[in-house]
Amino acid sequence: MKLDRNKLYAFLFIVCLAGYFWLYFNITKTAVDHSTMGVCMIKYGTNMPCPSCGSTRSIVSLIEGNFVEALKINPLGLIVAAIMLFTPLWIVVDLIRKKNSLFDFYKKSEGYLKKPRYAFPLVFLVLINWVWNIVKGL
């Protein structure tokens, strides 16, 4: 499956759409019983949270206006929120202008992030976040 522009855009669009449905579902659930639905396989299997556990709660908090709270629950949630916000817009802009700017950006970023000097610090940050999640008892 060679990842070309249209496949990438379709995939990203579907993922973002799923993300929005998930978010909507959890916002309405939080309004009822103040909790989100857990889907983490790692948490299910080992009782320990994974690095991105809490990102839904983080985004829900962000939507309610608590930026600091969102950051404290899980900073990755903010990254996900930014991606969910900008990706669909970028895809639409690219489709209208018949350009590949998002695809090119994706490919270039992949090239950068694979390099050890970017990969190692990022992996380290993810690991710290994971430890923080465990400490927080997410």
Partner 1 sequence: MDDSKWVMLSTTQFKDPTTTLIISILAGSLGIDRFMIGDTGLGIGKLLTCGGFGIWAIIDWFMIQKATREKNMEKIQQLIY
Q: Which residues bind partner 1 (CB under 8 A)?
A: 1-2, 15, 18-19, 22, 39-42, 50-53, 55, 76, 79-80, 83, 106, 109-110, 113-114, 126
Quote the least distance from Cβ 52 to partner 1, whole Å: 5
H helices within the chain, ranges in order?
5-33, 41-46, 55-63, 67-73, 75-97, 101-114, 116-136
Cβ at position 98, least distance to partner 1 in Å:
22
- The nearer residue to partner 1, 57 or 96, going by C-beta atoms, is 57
State in Å, rounded, how far the first CA of the chain is from the last one: 36
Residues 55 and 85: their CA atoms lie apart, in Å, by 15
Q: Measured from the CB of residue 67, what is the shortest distance to partner 1 in angstroms?
A: 19
CB 85 within 8 A of CB 102: no
Nearer to partner 1 by Cβ, of 55 and 61: the residue is 55
